[in-house]
Structure 1
Amino acid sequence: MTSLTRFALPLLASVSVLSMTAAHAEPTQELIDAAKAEGTLTTIALPHNWCGYGDVIAGFKAKYGLDVNELNPNAGSADELEAIKANMGNTGPQAPDVIDVGLSFGPAAKDQGLIQPYKVSVWDSIPDDAKDAEGYWYGDYYGVLAFGVNKDIIPYAPTSFADLMDSAYANSIAIPGDPRTGNSTMMTVYAAGVAQGAAAGGDALNAGITYFKDLKENGNYVPVNGNSQNLAQGTTPIYFDWDYNLLAMRDTLAGNPPVEVVVPSDAVVAGVYVQAISAYAPHPNAAKLWMEYIYSDEGQTLWLKGYCHPIRFNDMAARGVIPQDLMDKLPPAENYAKAVFPTLDEQAAAKSAIADNWGKEMGVN
């Protein structure tokens, strides 16, 4: 796969102008009718507070009148593929129609014959390097690694990985969990390595491990599973996560305490999630209609409302259809302009390095 550096361009740069027909395409009436005849869509791993999925699901139901059967909202990407495998011959309510998974799981699902191709009507506005050419999987949204800061505890927020080494942040910094088992945590370690100037892949990951080892030895890193509660209570007032999770948390806390979300200036590392339709979907037409909805301007805007950058962001920005009030709630646009998107090969090298070296370097099992 080619590197996804296209998204590192300024927001309105290098955007091809689509035809009005392509930009505003709608699903056919035949597809709508077929989906309504099926009556139900089964999703999996879509918590309502993730990327604004609560509003997305509600919008789909309101627009088309289908029921949505939601399986295991807190499942991970691997769980989603296992759910397809476990229900290959089952057309009941435990068989997912659609999946939303981390980038590496799209090609894996294709190789295993677990997904089927479908190209939405706005296919041409999805960047080529964020989709499978045959239509088996396609990027839906992305976020960047950031950290939230409890401003009651730390009035002057650090702005970089380098800043976090300062003794002013003793016993303050946490990551979401074990980077050997969580993608966002692994990518946080990866981003720390990028900030040290390391080459992409395993080198960046190993440099990130060294960074966190040093952060632990100087007393700034707290080896607990960081979460929004710990940040709000001040137990770990600096906490890493995807920007969309942190921004949603900031809004939920509503100033109690005040939270600043920082995209570190020395490493802006992004992660793409992808959509696909199960090869064994009990409701294939409902699944296709779901894809049409979430890739429409309406669906993409709802993701941005949930602080996830929709994959068609540049196209929508070029056409001036993104509400300004949504833009105003995001960190500065220039931060996102520096984003780098690790390739599948680079992520694979990072996973190997984290498995081999995190435990022994950090002194954990």
Structure 2
Amino acid sequence: MEAAPAAKAPAAAEPAKVDFNTVKSAEEAGGMDSLIAAAKAEGELNVITLPRDWCNYGEMMDNFSKKYGIKINSLNPDGGSADEIQAIKDNKENKGPQAPDVLDIGPAYGPTSKSDNLLAPYKVTTWDTIKGTNDPDGYYFVDYSGVMVFEINSDVVKDLPKTYKDLLDPKYKSKVALAGDPRASNQAAQTVYAAALANGGSLDNIQPGLDFFKELNAKGNLLPLIADSGPIAKGETPITFQWSWNAYANKDNFKGNPNIEIVYPTDVNWGGYYYQAISAYAPHPAAARLWEEYLYSDEGQLTWIKGYCAPSRLEDLTSRNVVSDDLKAKLPDAKLLSTSIVPNGAQLTSARALIKEQWDKVVGLDIKSAN
């Protein structure tokens, strides 16, 4: 009699596949090793509107690519927050290089983008140390902050303005520029908001800001050019409203050619911050989540400080003595940062909508890039 064939051992169960489009934490991804492996397999990451000198993003992108071997496609580096959101809407079905994976947006765009179902929730492993007005479910979260300043090419402008109202003086004719289109750029829109408070407005009354820019335009002082590093260096936009981190980065990069003076306006101390978020339609969902993990690691946070930004984990970093004295010198003045006026999300959303609606009618100047 033939022996009965040996029973086959049951096949080992295959590990469950992870849908990185829905992963809300590294733990859900199977741990950081699993997340890193999946991100490396994707091999690419699409970022959008990240100038290399904005908060030291150039070094951040280079370090991330070197660390993980992931190619970064940088889309529309000179765009604004509205361009980021529009890019998601335009590329919902497109998994190619024009579809952003991650966002760095002004705070008014966080809640609205969540409401439009454009964002995917995710909480990085350092979530509990992130300070600020973060969405409780992780749809958007604060990345860094600073204050609004005047960046002045002192080779062109010798008598430096100290206040917003000073800028109305005829001696600044054809010398004042915004750093973006206020209808699309968070930085430019918040400049209008700050001007409102400098001219008798309030966090709930932005009209004086629009009126200020109307008068600035009528006097011929306001230029139609977006003041990015090119026009500033050439002297085409001698006085620019900037977030502090951009002004100091330009001062460093120009190395005295031209000379840059940074003025903290005395009539309003205006603070601002930005949000990170992941697109709900990210073509590289694992890489998107790994990017956020990197930004909010100690290494990523210190890289932002090198670019003059105060990262949202600063309190945790300083409590553990992680920030060197050299890096501390690059942080915004602590008193200015702590006493700055910062509107809440609802106020910013309302102000942004009013500026977008009223800019053409009230101010009547189309702000465009020199390129």
TM-score normalised by the shorter chain: which range applies? Answer: 0.7 to 0.9
Tell me how far 1:234 sits from its aligned partner. Answer: 4.1
The residue that corresponds to 1:138 in the other structure is: 141
Query: What is the SS of the residue equivalent to 2:222?
Result: strand
Amino acid at match of 2:225: N
Tell me how far 1:148 sits from its aligned partner. Answer: 1.0
Amino acid at match of 2:50: L
Deviations 1:138-184 (A, max 9, x none): 11122322111222334453333244455654553332354334332
Deviations 1:241-269 (A, max 9, x none): 22222222111211122111122222122
- Which 5+ residue runs of structure 1 have no aligned equivalent? 1-26
Identify which range, 220-229 or 112-121, moves more after superposition: 220-229
The residue that corresponds to 1:212 in the other structure is: 213
Tell me how far 1:284 sits from its aligned partner. Answer: 2.0
Pick one of 73, 85, 88 that aligns with 1:84. Answer: 88
Query: What is the SS of the residue equivalent to 1:222?
Result: coil
For the pair shown, which has the larger CA radius of gyration, 1 or 2?
2
Q: Kindly, what percent of the aligned residue pairs are identical? A: 45
Q: 1:212 and 1:103 mapped to 2: Cα distance?
A: 23
- By relative contact order (CA 8 Å, sep 6+), the higher-ranking structure is 1
Q: How does 1:200-279 map to 2 (within 5 A)?
A: 200-201=203-204, 203=205, 205-216=206-217, 219=219, 221-227=221-227, 228-279=229-280
Q: How does 1:91-240 map to 2 (within 5 A)?
A: 91-127=95-131, 129-155=132-158, 157-165=160-168, 169-201=172-204, 203=205, 205-216=206-217, 219=219, 221-227=221-227, 228-240=229-241
Kept in 1, the 8 Å contact 2:146–2:332? The answer is no
Pick one of 45, 58, 62 that aligns with 1:58. Answer: 62
Structure holding more helix per residue? 1
CA distance 1:361–1:126, change in 2 (3 Å): same
TM-score (norm 1): 0.81
Q: How does 1:300-315 map to 2 (within 5 A)?
A: 300-315=301-316
Task: Tell me if 1:72 matches 2:90.
Answer: no
Amino acid at match of 1:62: K
Tell me how far 1:292 sits from its aligned partner. Answer: 0.7
Identify which range, 341-350 or 90-99, moves more after superposition: 90-99
Q: 2:272 and 2:334 mapped to 1: Cα distance?
A: 17
The residue that corresponds to 2:24 in the other structure is: none
Query: What is the SS of the residue equivalent to 1:142?
Result: strand
Deviations 1:94-136 (A, max 9, x none): 4332222222222222222222211101101112x42110111
Amino acid at match of 1:280: Y
Query: What is the SS of the residue equivalent to 2:190?
Result: helix
Identify which range, 349-358 or 64-73, moves more after superposition: 349-358
Tell me how far 1:41 sits from its aligned partner. Answer: 2.2
TM-score (norm 2): 0.80
Kept in 2, the 8 Å contact 1:143–1:243? The answer is yes
- Which 5+ residue runs of structure 2 have no aligned equivalent? 1-30, 367-371
Tell me how far 1:349 sits from its aligned partner. Answer: 2.8
The total of aligned residue pairs comes to: 335
The residue that corresponds to 2:39 in the other structure is: 35
Deviations 1:277-305 (A, max 9, x none): 22232332222111110011111111121
Q: 1:71 and 1:153 mapped to 2: Cα distance?
A: 33
RMSD: 2.7
CA distance 1:321–1:56, change in 2 (3 Å): same
